[in-house]
Amino acid sequence: MFRLGREYNATVSPPSPRFYRFLFEKEENSSLPVSISSQFVLLEVFSESLTCMTVSVQNSSCPVFDEASNVQFEGYWQTMSKKAGMTINRDKYPFGFYVVLVTHDNDDRCATHEKRLLRIEERVKEVRFSIREKISYLEYVTAIFGLIGFFLLFYIGAILISICHCYRYQRIIILYLCYSYLTNFYSKLLCP
Q: What pLDDT, in 10s, does the model give residues 107-130?
A: 777 776 545 554 556 778 888 888
CA 148 to chain centre: 19
Tell me, yes or no, whether 150 and 123 share the same domain: no
Neighbouring C-alpha atoms within 13 Å toward the C-beta of 29: 6
What is the extent of the structural domain holding 182?
136-192
Q: For residue 2, is it within any domain?
A: no
Q: For residue 182, is it within any domain?
A: yes
Q: What is the pLDDT of residue 88?
A: 87
Q: What pLDDT, in 10s, does the model give residues 17-70?
A: 888 888 877 655 444 444 445 678 888 999 888 888 888 888 887 777 777 777
Tell me, yes or no, whether 110 and 188 share the same domain: no
Q: What is the pLDDT of residue 1?
A: 67
Entry pTM: 0.63
Q: For residue 1, is it within any domain?
A: no
